Amino acid sequence: MRRCVLAALSASLGVACVKPNPAFGDESGGSSTTTAVLPTTGATTGATSGDLSSGTDTPTTTSAEGSVTSATSEALTSGGTSTTSTSEPDGTTTTGATTSTTSTTSTTDTTGSTGDGGPPASCAEARDRGGVESGVVELAVPEQRGATTEVWCEQQVADGGWLLVARSAPDDMPPAFGWGNGAGDILDDSEPYSLGLLAYKFPASELLVSSYFEGKQLDGHAYKFTAPPDFPFPFDMSAGPTSAPQTVMGDCDPGGGPSMMRWMGYTKLSDRFRMRDKPETDAGDIYGLFASGFNLGGDNCSNAGKLDGSQGMIFVR
């Protein structure tokens, strides 16, 4: 199983970049993982195409006696005009006008990465830049100047702007898997994938929980809801209430949403993305999205939203 770790190039290269999957140490007694260290210096990747510039023309005036004087006129980069006057020996004056223009260009790919202003800071920003297709996007890492990472953005479900943080897959020896763990390869759907959101600090005020059949295409049932305030950081070993989950996909729409999605937290657990119908936990609490799929205590609509036992994904925005 491949692992991706963060890396930063030296400042002298002018680029700092990190790979997708940072890992966090588990402080709850779970399996040992590697602590991610994001770069703290470096230049932001992504250059602006087309330099805007302003300049001045310095025309020269020559008198009949041969003396030289200078006059300055400003050339506007948006199509400004500079004027040059020349005195001829016979006393006539010739005036010429020169127009300078500057054009700017920017490029946008289908996922929303543009040449203007560097990489987007979230999947929502990539969407707003024109990234209407779901796929891999390079995002700027929050609070880490110049650092970037490749992520998967879902742009076609529930208004788009969703960042993939977890994707399960059948696995006999599942890796560390949770909010603080980086695992797998974003492009290899045969292995479980976990972004390691606690290290990246991308926005997570809303969550989208879904089943899927293959790849990263939502299939079957999906629900969106508001995350607890400041999620996921104040909930290392506690949980906070969510808003009532809303059905985005599927035929399950119980009043108040599936109850097993009403409490989210315990973000330091390294074996699952925990979700429950109550805030407490105990030794027998084994609910949530695991590396091998959902365990939500029964495949029914009102409790598990028909997700129990299926492969699953979790997105944030």
Domain of residue 284, residue span: 1-48+108-317
Instruction: Say if residue 74 is in the same domain as residue 16.
Output: no
Instruction: Say if residue 36 is in the same domain as residue 69.
Output: no
Closest to 256 measured CA to CA, from 275, 228, 277, 274:
277
Q: Is the peptide bond before 232 cis (omega within 30 degrees of 0)?
A: yes
Distance CA 224, CA 249 (A): 10
User: What pLDDT score does 94 carry?
Assistant: 44
E strand or H helix that includes residue 101: strand 93-101
Closest to 38 measured CA to CA, from 53, 56, 17:
17
Instruction: Say if residue 64 is in the same domain as residue 161.
Output: no
In order of 99, 211, 277, 306, 314, the CA distances from 302 in angstroms are 70, 16, 11, 8, 19
Instruction: Say if residue 150 is in the same domain as residue 65.
Output: no
Q: Is the Cα torsion angle 9, 130, 212, 312 positive or negative in sign?
A: positive
User: What pLDDT score does 284 carry?
Assistant: 62
Domain final residue pick, 69, 101, 133:
101
Give me the torsion for CA of 141, 215, 156, 219, rounded to 10°.
-130
User: What pLDDT score does 282 carry?
Assistant: 66
User: What pLDDT score does 163 carry?
Assistant: 98
pLDDT in tens, 44-101: 333 333 333 333 343 333 333 333 333 333 332 333 333 444 444 444 444 444 333 3
- What 3-state class would DSSP assign to 38? coil
Query: Nearest 5°: phi and psi at 12?
Result: -70, -20
User: What pLDDT score does 177 carry?
Assistant: 96
Q: What's the CATH code of the domain at 299? A: 3.90.215.10
User: What pLDDT score does 283 carry?
Assistant: 54
Instruction: Say if residue 277 is in the same domain as residue 153.
Output: yes
Instruction: Say if residue 32 is in the same domain as residue 88.
Output: no
Instruction: Say if residue 72 is in the same domain as residue 156.
Output: no
Instruction: Say if residue 42 is in the same domain as residue 64.
Output: no
User: What pLDDT score does 99 carry?
Assistant: 37
Beta-carbon count within 10 A of 145 CB:
13
Instruction: Say if residue 253 is in the same domain as residue 210.
Output: yes
Domain final residue pick, 36, 66, 101:
101
Q: Are 148 and 138 in contact (CB under 8 A)?
A: yes
pLDDT along the chain (317 residues), means of 10: 33 37 38 36 35 37 36 34 42 42 35 64 96 94 93 96 96 86 93 96 96 87 97 94 96 94 95 92 80 92 96 97
Place of tokens 């029914």: 300
Instruction: Say if residue 64 is in the same domain as residue 130.
Output: no
Domain tally, the chain: 2
User: What pLDDT score does 79 carry?
Assistant: 39
Instruction: Say if residue 162 is in the same domain as residue 304.
Output: yes
Instruction: Say if residue 161 is in the same domain as residue 18.
Output: yes
Whole-model pTM: value is: 0.66
